[in-house]
Structure 1
Amino acid sequence: MTYTEAVKHLEQARFSPIYLLTGEEPFFIQQILSRFREKVLEEASRDFNYDHFQGESLDPHQVLMTAKTFPLFSARRLVIIQNADLIKDERETLLSYLESPCDTTVLVFVAAKPDMRKKLFTALKKKGTAIHCAPLSEQALPGWIAQEGKRRGVSLSEEATWYLKERLGNDLFLIQQEIDKFSLHSSDKKEVSLEMVQQLIAGGRSHSIFELVRAVGEKNLKRSLTLLSSLLEEGEHPLFILTMLTRQWRLMATAREGIDAGKSETAVGKKVPMPPSLLPAFFKQLRNWKESEIRRAFDLSLAADSQLKGGRQSAPQVLEMLLLDLCRPHPTSQRTGYTLPFLESRS
């Protein structure tokens, strides 16, 4: 079952004696384990009936003895084995338990990427209940952020949600931490705006990376250089600035391809991962960018990335030259030999 299905399953309190918890999203893994402790164990007797083991140092006999111990002042005992894929010795002891598990114990094996060809995991999948916690896709992340905000009493605007996604990526622990901050600053229950999120996350910076991206998209050289200087002075990381600019060319390339194919802005906008309220400004910028210019911008950004990582020039110099090249008219903008990765199949 998925993470969402597992949450509903645990809410029903109809527990299986054996679980296999897998997946590469540590935040969801932690959330499921917290729910196991909350739902399986009674608070007053939790310390008496909860045991935790590590796979790399596991003594299977001790696990069996613990799992077969009757719970004290509670209906069930909870036993969790972390890093179960590192269990080495005496797997047969565990396999024998799987054939006849104790109905008053919930035994949870946790392994991010187990080798399902191994006998132990084959048996766990067959005898137990499998829960898989997959990472969120880029498309699903904004919805999760909004839902997580509501769960904590925080209403996030579309722009604020998008900013969190772009700024923090798929680090769900960090996103949750920031949402908790918003809950402390939005006691009046008003919607959390983009400006408020920028203020809290950027540490009071007077300008945001999105203002710079917008200025470059408008080919406004003077404002772009002013914003770049401000962001660098206020501690913004040069590679993050470059990453956000490069991302803009990817979005523009996707949109430009659709527009050039005769699709409407409404249809193309559904393929562009940004809040609908920001799409009009995005398409206004796009009208000033030909496909060849977008490809050139992407090439220039790749070159700037190499220069930043090479360390021969200072970051301000590299980024200033990049903005000069991007914003100044370039009469010989020709299609370069580089093909954007997501357009290769169509080129």
Structure 2
Amino acid sequence: MAKTTLKFRDSAAAYERLAADIRARRFAPLYLLMGEESYFIDALADLLAETILDPAERAFNQLTVYGRDTDGGQVVNLCRQMPMMGAWQVVIVREAQQLRGLEKLAHYTQNPSPTTILVICHKEKNADKRSAFYKGAAAHGTVFESVRPRDYEIGPWLTQFAASRGFALDTKAAAMLAEHLGTDITKIANELEKLAVSVPEGTKRITDSDIETYTGISKEFNNFELCKAVLARDTERALRIAGHFARNPKEHPLLVTVMALFGQFRQLFLLNYLFWQARRKGTPVPPDGELMRVLKVNNPYAVGELRQALPAWPNKRVFAILGLLREYDAKSKGINAGGAPDGELLRELLLRILLP
């Protein structure tokens, strides 16, 4: 199977387009919703289930089956039935990656019924794009491919998702959520939905204080604040945060902290290089918009903080720190850690970064 070149942002954009078509009642005869990221697949399947038929029609003409409980031949038979007292019937196949005889659906995808809308939810991986089943779905229906996000892609999506719910997220609030919930956008979406109903009515902006109040995530002791303290060479504050992490190791795993620090020093390395290149060529430093793209940050304030910190972090030092972070990445996985707990390793790492 050919490796996909699709990016998370492409999946997110395709999701918005497809959701708009569904709300406008522009339906395809069949939908193949597939890929590693389940959030978009579930959201589209739920939207189709709620939109195609009205509540009275669903009792007679909407069927949901699960892959582990059926097979391809049975799904085809369901799709060939005629709707009762309506224009369409809807057949939704959940967990289709577990369906026995998936290729039997090729006969149907190549010649779908005009009175059935088939929704196939194929999670965890893509269907084989070389198969007759996939080719039929692509030729006669709509195929949606859902790609998991990388760490740096969560921030922009998080901000956009919040905006679609009617409120803005402060930079620190977004960073706190992303750090605490990782790249699981189902968890992120659920947390934002809870926030939307928890904050006072009329709230238009979510702050770090709101995150702390309504989710329990600390606005002082988190990787966002640790990275800021390190960037400012504030050793006392960095060690205070590290002490909190040491007392709460399950909430603050060392590996996640090392990754956050690595991302920040990687940005410093790139920024130093771009400034050196501009001096060497006698050209202006790229504008903040270009720097945001290169550094993969979604606001000019973050670029400003990095630029301000550059004199304290020459690239010779940054390069050495990147090597240190690779060393502690291995230690966080138990390699050459000598049995030291995560809290002790983090304190040791911070001292090696911050002290001359």
1:3 touches 1:132 (CA, 8 Å); kept in 2? no
| Aligned pairs for 1:196-211 within 5 A | 196-204=210-218, 206-211=220-225
How much does 1:27 deviate?
A: 0.5
- 1:185 is aligned, of 199, 202, 225, to 199
Structure 1 window deviating more from structure 2 (50-59 vs 286-295): it is 50-59
How much does 1:79 deviate?
A: 0.6
Pairing 1:107–2:118 present: yes
- Partner of residue 279, structure 1: 303
In structure 2, runs of 5+ residues without a counterpart are 1-10, 279-283
- Residues 116-162 of structure 1 show CA distances to partners (whole Å, capped at 9, x for unaligned) of 22222222222323233334566654343223223333322244234
Could you say what secondary structure the match of 2:206 adopts?
A: coil
How much does 1:308 deviate?
A: 3.0
How much does 1:289 deviate?
A: 0.6
Aligned partners of 2:256, 2:150: CA distance in 1, in Å?
Answer: 21
- Partner of residue 75, structure 2: 63
- 2:285 is aligned, of 237, 241, 264, to 264
- Residues 19-67 of structure 1 show CA distances to partners (whole Å, capped at 9, x for unaligned) of 2222322110011101110111211232332222334553444323322
Q: What is the percentage of aligned positions where both structures have the same residue?
A: 23
- Partner of residue 342, structure 1: none
Structure 1 window deviating more from structure 2 (80-89 vs 256-265): it is 80-89
Shift in alpha-carbon separation, 1:257–1:167, aligned structure 2, 3 A = farther
Aligned partners of 1:197, 1:316: CA distance in 2, in Å?
Answer: 25
Output the TM-score relative to the length of structure 1.
0.83
- 1:155 is aligned, of 159, 162, 168, to 168
- Residues 62-82 of structure 1 show CA distances to partners (whole Å, capped at 9, x for unaligned) of 323322333334432111223
Aligned partners of 1:90, 1:283: CA distance in 2, in Å?
Answer: 54
The residue type equivalent to 2:80 in the other structure is: K
Could you say what secondary structure the match of 1:109 adopts?
A: strand
2:91 touches 2:117 (CA, 8 Å); kept in 1? yes
- 2:229 is aligned, of 205, 215, 218, to 215
The residue type equivalent to 1:264 in the other structure is: V
Output the TM-score relative to the length of structure 2.
0.81
- Residues 218-252 of structure 1 show CA distances to partners (whole Å, capped at 9, x for unaligned) of 22222221221133335533332222212211111
| Aligned pairs for 1:1-347 within 5 A | 2-89=14-101, 91=103, 94-111=105-122, 112-136=125-149, 141-183=154-196, 184-204=198-218, 206-234=220-248, 235-262=251-278, 264=285, 266-267=287-288, 269-270=291-292, 271-272=294-295, 273-310=297-334, 311=337, 312-329=339-356
Cα RMSD, aligned residues only: 2.8
In structure 1, runs of 5+ residues without a counterpart are 330-347
